[in-house]
Structure 1
Protein backbone atom coordinates (compact mmCIF):
# COMPACT_ATOMS: atom_id res chain seq x y z
CA UNK A 1 0.00 0.00 0.00
CA UNK A 2 2.79 2.40 0.93
CA UNK A 3 4.57 1.70 -2.37
CA UNK A 4 1.36 2.35 -4.33
CA UNK A 5 0.88 5.71 -2.56
CA UNK A 6 4.50 6.65 -3.22
CA UNK A 7 4.07 5.76 -6.90
CA UNK A 8 0.86 7.78 -7.03
CA UNK A 9 2.59 10.79 -5.46
CA UNK A 10 5.46 10.52 -7.95
CA UNK A 11 2.92 10.32 -10.78
CA UNK A 12 1.13 13.44 -9.54
CA UNK A 13 4.44 15.30 -9.17
CA UNK A 14 5.32 14.45 -12.78
CA UNK A 15 1.89 15.27 -14.22
CA UNK A 16 2.34 17.96 -16.87
CA UNK A 17 -1.38 18.68 -16.95
CA UNK A 18 -1.72 19.23 -13.20
CA UNK A 19 1.38 21.41 -13.00
CA UNK A 20 0.24 23.51 -15.94
CA UNK A 21 -3.29 23.90 -14.56
CA UNK A 22 -2.00 24.90 -11.12
CA UNK A 23 0.23 27.57 -12.66
CA UNK A 24 -2.57 28.70 -14.98
CA UNK A 25 -5.01 29.10 -12.07
CA UNK A 26 -2.40 30.98 -10.04
CA UNK A 27 -1.42 33.34 -12.84
CA UNK A 28 -5.00 33.63 -14.12
CA UNK A 29 -6.20 34.75 -10.69
CA UNK A 30 -3.42 37.35 -10.64
CA UNK A 31 -4.56 38.83 -13.97
CA UNK A 32 -8.25 38.54 -12.96
CA UNK A 33 -7.52 40.58 -9.83
CA UNK A 34 -5.57 43.17 -11.83
CA UNK A 35 -8.41 43.58 -14.37
CA UNK A 36 -11.26 43.62 -11.83
CA UNK A 37 -11.42 47.45 -11.70
CA UNK A 38 -12.54 47.48 -15.36
CA UNK A 39 -15.01 44.64 -14.81
CA UNK A 40 -13.19 42.04 -16.89
CA UNK A 41 -11.69 38.65 -16.23
CA UNK A 42 -8.42 37.75 -17.90
CA UNK A 43 -10.10 35.50 -20.50
CA UNK A 44 -12.57 38.25 -21.40
CA UNK A 45 -9.76 40.76 -21.74
CA UNK A 46 -7.85 38.37 -24.03
CA UNK A 47 -10.91 37.91 -26.26
CA UNK A 48 -11.53 41.65 -26.52
CA UNK A 49 -7.83 42.35 -27.09
CA UNK A 50 -7.64 39.79 -29.93
CA UNK A 51 -10.69 41.39 -31.57
CA UNK A 52 -9.13 44.85 -31.18
CA UNK A 53 -6.06 43.67 -33.09
CA UNK A 54 -7.64 41.34 -35.68
CA UNK A 55 -11.06 42.91 -36.25
CA UNK A 56 -14.22 40.90 -36.69
CA UNK A 57 -13.84 37.14 -36.65
CA UNK A 58 -15.99 34.03 -36.65
CA UNK A 59 -16.54 32.39 -33.28
CA UNK A 60 -14.60 29.38 -34.55
CA UNK A 61 -11.69 31.50 -35.76
CA UNK A 62 -11.50 33.35 -32.46
CA UNK A 63 -11.67 30.05 -30.56
CA UNK A 64 -8.80 28.65 -32.65
CA UNK A 65 -6.72 31.78 -32.05
CA UNK A 66 -7.14 31.47 -28.28
CA UNK A 67 -6.91 27.63 -28.24
CA UNK A 68 -10.43 27.11 -26.93
CA UNK A 69 -13.23 24.91 -28.21
CA UNK A 70 -16.02 26.70 -30.08
CA UNK A 71 -18.72 25.95 -27.49
CA UNK A 72 -16.64 27.37 -24.64
CA UNK A 73 -15.85 30.45 -26.73
CA UNK A 74 -19.55 30.99 -27.43
CA UNK A 75 -20.26 30.71 -23.69
CA UNK A 76 -17.50 33.24 -22.92
CA UNK A 77 -18.90 35.67 -25.49
CA UNK A 78 -22.43 35.77 -24.04
CA UNK A 79 -21.69 38.10 -21.10
CA UNK A 80 -19.56 40.32 -23.35
CA UNK A 81 -22.47 40.62 -25.76
CA UNK A 82 -24.92 41.32 -22.90
CA UNK A 83 -22.66 44.16 -21.73
CA UNK A 84 -22.50 45.56 -25.26
CA UNK A 85 -18.76 44.96 -25.61
CA UNK A 86 -19.15 42.71 -28.68
CA UNK A 87 -21.83 41.97 -31.22
CA UNK A 88 -22.51 38.49 -32.57
CA UNK A 89 -24.33 38.22 -35.88
CA UNK A 90 -24.83 35.64 -38.59
CA UNK A 91 -22.32 35.83 -41.41
CA UNK A 92 -23.66 37.16 -44.70
CA UNK A 93 -21.48 34.62 -46.54
CA UNK A 94 -22.46 31.60 -44.43
CA UNK A 95 -25.56 31.87 -42.25
CA UNK A 96 -24.25 29.02 -40.04
CA UNK A 97 -21.17 31.04 -39.09
CA UNK A 98 -21.42 33.71 -36.39
CA UNK A 99 -19.30 36.86 -36.68
CA UNK A 100 -18.00 38.54 -33.53
CA UNK A 101 -17.24 42.26 -33.68
CA UNK A 102 -15.77 44.51 -31.01
CA UNK A 103 -18.00 47.49 -30.22
CA UNK A 104 -16.74 50.99 -29.37
CA UNK A 105 -17.55 50.23 -25.70
CA UNK A 106 -15.52 47.02 -25.98
CA UNK A 107 -12.55 48.91 -27.40
CA UNK A 108 -12.82 51.46 -24.58
CA UNK A 109 -12.78 48.63 -22.04
CA UNK A 110 -9.67 47.12 -23.66
CA UNK A 111 -7.93 50.49 -23.56
CA UNK A 112 -8.92 51.01 -19.92
CA UNK A 113 -7.69 47.54 -18.99
CA UNK A 114 -4.39 47.71 -20.87
CA UNK A 115 -2.45 49.57 -18.13
CA UNK A 116 -3.77 47.10 -15.53
CA UNK A 117 -2.80 44.15 -17.70
CA UNK A 118 0.63 45.73 -18.28
CA UNK A 119 1.15 46.21 -14.54
CA UNK A 120 0.38 42.53 -13.89
CA UNK A 121 2.64 41.54 -16.77
CA UNK A 122 5.48 43.72 -15.47
CA UNK A 123 5.05 42.44 -11.91
CA UNK A 124 5.22 38.82 -13.09
CA UNK A 125 8.29 39.44 -15.24
CA UNK A 126 10.00 41.31 -12.41
CA UNK A 127 9.52 38.39 -10.03
CA UNK A 128 9.97 35.54 -12.50
CA UNK A 129 12.51 37.22 -14.78
CA UNK A 130 11.85 38.75 -18.19
CA UNK A 131 14.08 36.27 -20.02
CA UNK A 132 12.59 33.33 -18.13
CA UNK A 133 9.06 34.61 -18.92
CA UNK A 134 9.94 34.83 -22.61
CA UNK A 135 11.28 31.25 -22.53
CA UNK A 136 8.12 30.13 -20.71
CA UNK A 137 5.90 31.68 -23.41
CA UNK A 138 8.00 30.02 -26.11
CA UNK A 139 7.75 26.63 -24.38
CA UNK A 140 4.02 26.94 -23.80
CA UNK A 141 3.45 28.02 -27.39
CA UNK A 142 5.39 24.93 -28.51
CA UNK A 143 2.90 22.79 -26.55
CA UNK A 144 0.30 23.84 -29.12
CA UNK A 145 2.41 22.19 -31.82
CA UNK A 146 2.58 18.74 -30.18
CA UNK A 147 -0.01 17.27 -32.52
CA UNK A 148 -2.82 16.66 -30.06
CA UNK A 149 -6.27 17.52 -31.39
CA UNK A 150 -8.33 18.12 -28.26
CA UNK A 151 -11.29 19.68 -30.05
CA UNK A 152 -11.22 17.63 -33.24
CA UNK A 153 -14.54 16.05 -34.09
Structure 2
Protein backbone atom coordinates (compact mmCIF):
# COMPACT_ATOMS: atom_id res chain seq x y z
CA UNK A 1 0.00 0.00 0.00
CA UNK A 2 1.30 3.49 -0.90
CA UNK A 3 1.84 6.46 1.37
CA UNK A 4 -1.17 8.02 3.03
CA UNK A 5 -2.21 11.19 1.20
CA UNK A 6 -2.08 14.35 3.27
CA UNK A 7 -3.85 17.61 2.68
CA UNK A 8 -1.08 20.10 1.99
CA UNK A 9 -3.40 22.96 1.03
CA UNK A 10 -3.72 24.53 4.48
CA UNK A 11 -0.15 24.42 5.84
CA UNK A 12 1.67 24.90 2.52
CA UNK A 13 3.29 28.34 2.63
CA UNK A 14 4.26 28.13 -1.03
CA UNK A 15 0.72 27.40 -2.25
CA UNK A 16 -0.84 30.10 -0.08
CA UNK A 17 1.71 32.67 -1.27
CA UNK A 18 1.35 31.70 -4.94
CA UNK A 19 -2.45 31.78 -4.81
CA UNK A 20 -2.42 35.28 -3.33
CA UNK A 21 0.31 36.41 -5.74
CA UNK A 22 -1.63 35.12 -8.77
CA UNK A 23 -4.85 36.75 -7.53
CA UNK A 24 -3.34 40.16 -6.82
CA UNK A 25 -0.91 39.98 -9.75
CA UNK A 26 -3.76 39.31 -12.19
CA UNK A 27 -5.60 42.31 -10.74
CA UNK A 28 -2.62 44.61 -11.35
CA UNK A 29 -2.01 43.07 -14.80
CA UNK A 30 -5.64 43.65 -15.82
CA UNK A 31 -5.55 47.33 -14.84
CA UNK A 32 -2.10 48.02 -16.33
CA UNK A 33 -2.98 46.29 -19.63
CA UNK A 34 -4.68 49.50 -20.80
CA UNK A 35 -1.22 51.13 -21.01
CA UNK A 36 0.43 48.01 -22.43
CA UNK A 37 2.27 46.88 -19.30
CA UNK A 38 2.23 43.89 -17.02
CA UNK A 39 2.79 44.32 -13.30
CA UNK A 40 6.36 42.99 -13.47
CA UNK A 41 7.18 45.39 -16.31
CA UNK A 42 5.73 48.27 -14.28
CA UNK A 43 7.97 47.29 -11.33
CA UNK A 44 11.05 47.13 -13.56
CA UNK A 45 10.34 50.55 -15.06
CA UNK A 46 9.69 51.99 -11.60
CA UNK A 47 12.96 50.62 -10.16
CA UNK A 48 14.90 51.98 -13.15
CA UNK A 49 13.23 55.38 -12.79
CA UNK A 50 14.27 55.53 -9.12
CA UNK A 51 17.77 54.04 -9.38
CA UNK A 52 18.78 55.20 -12.85
CA UNK A 53 20.80 52.72 -14.84
CA UNK A 54 21.35 49.33 -13.21
CA UNK A 55 23.10 46.13 -14.15
CA UNK A 56 20.73 43.29 -14.99
CA UNK A 57 22.13 41.45 -11.95
CA UNK A 58 21.42 44.29 -9.49
CA UNK A 59 17.98 44.91 -11.03
CA UNK A 60 17.20 41.20 -10.63
CA UNK A 61 18.29 41.39 -6.98
CA UNK A 62 16.04 44.36 -6.10
CA UNK A 63 13.07 42.71 -7.84
CA UNK A 64 13.92 39.27 -6.27
CA UNK A 65 14.21 37.46 -9.58
CA UNK A 66 16.90 35.32 -11.15
CA UNK A 67 19.13 37.06 -13.69
CA UNK A 68 17.99 34.96 -16.67
CA UNK A 69 14.31 35.71 -16.00
CA UNK A 70 15.13 39.41 -15.61
CA UNK A 71 16.94 39.42 -18.96
CA UNK A 72 13.86 37.80 -20.54
CA UNK A 73 11.57 40.39 -18.94
CA UNK A 74 13.71 43.23 -20.30
CA UNK A 75 13.51 42.03 -23.92
CA UNK A 76 9.92 43.17 -24.67
CA UNK A 77 10.57 46.46 -22.86
CA UNK A 78 13.65 47.01 -25.03
CA UNK A 79 11.74 46.06 -28.21
CA UNK A 80 9.13 48.71 -27.36
CA UNK A 81 11.85 51.30 -26.71
CA UNK A 82 10.99 51.63 -23.01
CA UNK A 83 14.46 50.56 -21.83
CA UNK A 84 17.90 50.15 -23.32
CA UNK A 85 20.18 47.24 -22.43
CA UNK A 86 23.83 47.75 -23.34
CA UNK A 87 27.21 46.41 -22.25
CA UNK A 88 28.78 48.29 -19.35
CA UNK A 89 31.71 50.55 -20.19
CA UNK A 90 33.41 49.51 -16.93
CA UNK A 91 32.87 45.75 -17.30
CA UNK A 92 31.99 44.43 -20.76
CA UNK A 93 30.54 41.26 -19.19
CA UNK A 94 27.91 43.28 -17.32
CA UNK A 95 24.85 44.63 -19.12
CA UNK A 96 23.27 47.91 -18.07
CA UNK A 97 19.52 48.55 -18.23
CA UNK A 98 18.33 52.17 -18.49
CA UNK A 99 14.82 53.57 -18.74
CA UNK A 100 14.22 55.71 -21.84
CA UNK A 101 12.09 58.87 -22.11
CA UNK A 102 9.38 56.65 -23.67
CA UNK A 103 9.67 54.33 -20.67
CA UNK A 104 9.24 57.26 -18.27
CA UNK A 105 6.20 58.39 -20.24
CA UNK A 106 4.65 54.90 -20.08
CA UNK A 107 5.40 54.73 -16.35
CA UNK A 108 3.72 58.12 -15.85
CA UNK A 109 0.63 56.81 -17.67
CA UNK A 110 0.61 53.67 -15.52
CA UNK A 111 1.11 55.32 -12.12
CA UNK A 112 -2.50 56.51 -11.62
CA UNK A 113 -3.77 53.03 -12.57
CA UNK A 114 -1.35 51.40 -10.13
CA UNK A 115 -2.33 53.88 -7.39
CA UNK A 116 -5.99 53.05 -7.96
CA UNK A 117 -5.40 49.31 -7.44
CA UNK A 118 -3.25 50.05 -4.38
CA UNK A 119 -6.02 52.21 -2.90
CA UNK A 120 -8.78 49.71 -3.67
CA UNK A 121 -6.76 46.84 -2.18
CA UNK A 122 -5.99 48.79 0.99
CA UNK A 123 -9.62 49.86 1.35
CA UNK A 124 -10.74 46.24 1.05
CA UNK A 125 -7.92 44.56 2.99
CA UNK A 126 -7.12 47.39 5.41
CA UNK A 127 -4.22 49.85 5.16
CA UNK A 128 -2.54 48.67 8.37
CA UNK A 129 -3.04 45.03 7.43
CA UNK A 130 -1.55 45.71 3.97
CA UNK A 131 1.47 47.39 5.58
CA UNK A 132 1.92 44.37 7.88
CA UNK A 133 1.55 42.05 4.88
CA UNK A 134 4.29 43.91 2.95
CA UNK A 135 6.56 43.79 6.02
CA UNK A 136 5.95 40.05 6.48
CA UNK A 137 6.54 39.33 2.80
CA UNK A 138 9.70 41.46 2.88
CA UNK A 139 10.92 39.41 5.85
CA UNK A 140 10.46 36.22 3.81
CA UNK A 141 13.33 37.44 1.62
CA UNK A 142 15.66 37.24 4.64
CA UNK A 143 14.98 33.65 5.74
CA UNK A 144 18.32 32.32 4.52
CA UNK A 145 17.36 30.52 1.33
CA UNK A 146 19.42 31.12 -1.79
CA UNK A 147 17.06 30.19 -4.64
CA UNK A 148 19.17 31.77 -7.40
CA UNK A 149 22.64 30.89 -6.16
CA UNK A 150 24.91 29.57 -8.89
Report how far residue 12 of structure 1 moved. 2.6
Q: Residue 90 of structure 2 aligns with which residue?
A: 93
Q: Which runs of 4+ in 1 moved over 6 A?
A: none
Report how far residue 4 of structure 1 moved. 2.4
Q: Residue 145 of structure 1 aligns with which residue?
A: 142
Where 2:147 maps in the other structure, the secondary structure is: coil
Tell me how many residue pairs correspond in the alignment. 149
Q: What is the rounded CA distance, in whole Å, between the counterparts of 2:117 and 2:9 in structure 1?
A: 29
Q: Residue 134 of structure 1 aligns with which residue?
A: 131
CA RMSD of aligned residues (A): 1.1
TM-score, normalization: structure 2?
0.97
String of CA shifts for 1:58-91, please: whole Å, max 9, x gaps.
0000000000000000000000000000000000
1:124 pairs, out of 118, 121, 125, with 121
Where 1:99 maps in the other structure, the secondary structure is: strand
Structure 2 residue runs without a partner (length 5+)? none
1:110 pairs, out of 107, 119, 132, with 107
TM-score, normalization: structure 1?
0.95
Q: Residue 19 of structure 1 aligns with which residue?
A: 16
